[in-house]
Structure 1
Amino acid sequence: MIRRARCWLAAIALGVCIGPGWAQPVDAERSSVGFELRTRWGQRIHGTFGRPLGHVTELGDSRHQVRLSLSVASIEVADSPYYTQMARGPEFFDAARFPHVDFLSEPYRPSLAHDGGKLRGKLTLRGVTRAEFFTLQPAECARPGWDCDVVATGIINRANYGLSGYRLALADRVRFTMRIRLKNEDE
């Protein structure tokens, strides 16, 4: 009876019912994670990470948790092989020493994916782990993640993670934008 009630509440919040303790993988083909840097003279540099990996887990107490992993070697910067190599290189994300950027959220209520708000968690970048948050936009559908993207943005200070290269040319903030989809239950 309790399991049915929990499923029913999840069905209301997300429009799905997979059952307690489920882990739903991120659909790497339909998800994207990008970043934006600004030069000191106002130019915007846009980059993307290829194929984000991760999953959303139901924790058994009706809260959820998301885990994402991004390959630094997959970074591409807006049609620029030069900027792509710089971003992957030792002065910036350093793919050779730190191959992944990881995020593990704090547990959250499933309504956050629908209503929007702050998703707090731990970001690990260049071997440094810090508490950060991403702001989720209100969903544009009844089943966010399945029928529409879960859209989140966050800004970090790159000096906090040792991204100290090119300080004269690049501003201190890095803006991340995520558009996350989950694999359909029947896949």
Structure 2
Amino acid sequence: MAVTASLRRSARILLCALLAWAALAAPATAQQATTESFDPLHTRFGFELRTRWGQRVAGDFPDYAGELTVLPDGRHQVRIVLATAAVQVADSARYTELARGPRFFDSARYPRIEFLSEPHHADVVDRGGRLRGKLSMHGVSRMETFVLAPAACARPGKDCDVLATGSISRGDYGLDGWQLALIDRVRFTLRVRLLEPAR
């Protein structure tokens, strides 16, 4: 009996020791996701359309939110939210009103355009390549692909902008206004830089 009780005590002590070791070791091995915000001084989001007779119509989204998340496995994920009520088209008040109106972005019903990338390896930002993700606009969500340009510096997003472009079909999202005047494709341009973490 004494031997059995002693073995039980030893087993409990060993179990407690293992649990304590696991609790101490876990913070050293588990990685937390970290998030970096966009730098508003350098970040720009724009779009471009073409008329049926070749005129270029360019606009931008001055009101946005976005972040880069570094996931626990080291991959990156980008989230972008654009406010359609703030969209600007060149210096034209008329074109700006039309872009915000019910026959195009319809900002009263659909105030946001959102893009959430698939997790991707960090080196795609250095060498350039395809960035795939879910684009939600005008009540429709679809998978789309943007193309990242090769980095122009050793620390893209910190010392130089990350550049990306992507072309989508207006018809896929029900942006079917002005079909007689505008071609179907909309080209988005992204120029992103990240805020340096506070020290």
TM value normalised by structure 2: 0.83
Please state how far the C-alpha of 1:74 moved relative to its aligned partner.
1.1
CA distance in 2, matches of 1:175, 1:4: 45
- Larger fraction in helix: 2
Change in Cα spacing, 1:4 to 1:33, as seen in structure 2 (3 Å) is farther
Match of 1:92 among 104, 107, 120: 104
Aligned to 2:10: none
CA distance in 2, matches of 1:185, 1:50: 23
Q: How does 1:55-134 map to 2 (within 5 A)?
A: 55-134=67-146
CA distance in 2, matches of 1:4, 1:177: 40
Aligned to 1:164: 176
Please state how far the C-alpha of 1:51 moved relative to its aligned partner.
3.5
Match of 1:50 among 38, 45, 62: 62
Q: Secondary structure at the match of 2:160?
A: coil
How many correspondences in the alignment?
174
CA distance in 2, matches of 1:168, 1:39: 9
> Structure 1: where are the runs of 5+ without partners?
6-18
CA distance in 2, matches of 1:34, 1:22: 27
CA distance in 2, matches of 1:80, 1:51: 18
CA distance in 2, matches of 1:145, 1:127: 31
CA distance in 1, matches of 2:104, 2:162: 28
Percent identity at matched positions? 53
Match of 1:149 among 161, 185, 194: 161
Q: Secondary structure at the match of 2:145?
A: strand
| One-letter amino acid of the counterpart of residue 184, structure 1 | E
In angstroms, what is the RMSD of aligned CA positions?
1.9
| One-letter amino acid of the counterpart of residue 125, structure 1 | M
CA distance in 2, matches of 1:22, 1:135: 24
Q: Secondary structure at the match of 1:66?
A: strand
